[in-house]
Chain A
């Protein structure tokens, strides 16, 4: 038997629903909705390419059953520029050249948003600790750390403006 279930949830602030198989992960769910920002690479929770926020908390989409999203709020990288303007973190990644191929970037950007929500002025070590579970095959790590600090500075400036 291979049946499907209907789930209702909040996707990037909007009500959403989808038909899913019991074994779908959040990455499968998002692909069925044509959202490709979270992508599966390692499939084991190690690399962070599939990062999403579930009720505001960062998790690996590849290790999260889609069924668990029912009734909850799911946020993906696609939420960040909904106003038509890139988020300060996205802009900082572009300005600092914090990627080459860009495959890992949505995951890093969401993780950096999470970090800066809790810590407005992280040290290099705090940034490294927080991003230890995100891998960049293009090795843009120095630029990613610079972008994180630059985004933090922009967000602090905006908060006091």
Chain B
């Protein structure tokens, strides 16, 4: 007997009425998008972490099928987006990657879709295009915002007061607002409490905005309202850089936690006490792991970030799911693109081992983060990481920041460009 759709629904409806809702969960469940035959790893996110996890798993073991799910058909890098905002780069082309070569060179199956749910028991993810099952799942969704801690900052407000903390249209909007601003205007930037994506990022951005104002709108200034009591990353270097280059342009105000915005009045509120107005306002809100990680129950007691094993990056909340990049708690490794890259490779190696029932390998990782102070000067922070007693720590007596006298800053600006080229090439070829 063949059933058409109409009579099938009738039948199920009658059944449900008679015998309860037992069979109902089947209804509305999306179809399996790509039936799984052999070993399969699904990767959520095609950014700094996801692309590298997908590529390296395939480099290490071609017998594992890798499906990378990303909502966009391209990715725009946050690293160097501050240079675009400062007018040093004229477009975002050099910061944009596509995924075709990951597919062609490594056989990564790229699916453009939104992941809406993860079912750890069934080992499957639900996407806007259908469900995809996995043996192991790697989650690298980056960040989303804790909007409940920034009153008034909704989607509409973001169009007036861009965050530009995910690169793309928001970055272009902030740049446009700076260009359109009258000379003599005030730019306001808000910085959240740590942890957030890219600890030195706000200060690099303030430098780049000041660089633009100095050359193009010399009567203007930028007010930085920092929730933290001080600049915690490369603090000495930023302060010296600002003193040498942007005296009177950058007005840095520590311990000013912005909790509310008024997009109509173009004002922000510091803990309900003090109102600060701006002609251009860049709100960097408090952050947490990407929404999908929260929805899947991967966040820990803080409800914001995902605790993981320090060897495999397997979630301590859900078996078979690994979390890397900004979303995870990686001990001493900061939330940076370089960390995400390094974590992805560590995770990839151990995912391959676990799938094949082999011994795992202890972590060894690196983070380096370059920040531009002017168009020709950059400073860096570097770290080498290892594991001690189950925690990721910096190797003692290694790493650190650039020389305090800026003696290497011109050379580092040249190396930083090659760093970007290399890391984006890693992600896209």
B is bound to A: no
Residues of A participating in the B interface, judged by any CB pair closer than 8 Å: none
Residues of B participating in the A interface, judged by any CB pair closer than 8 Å: none
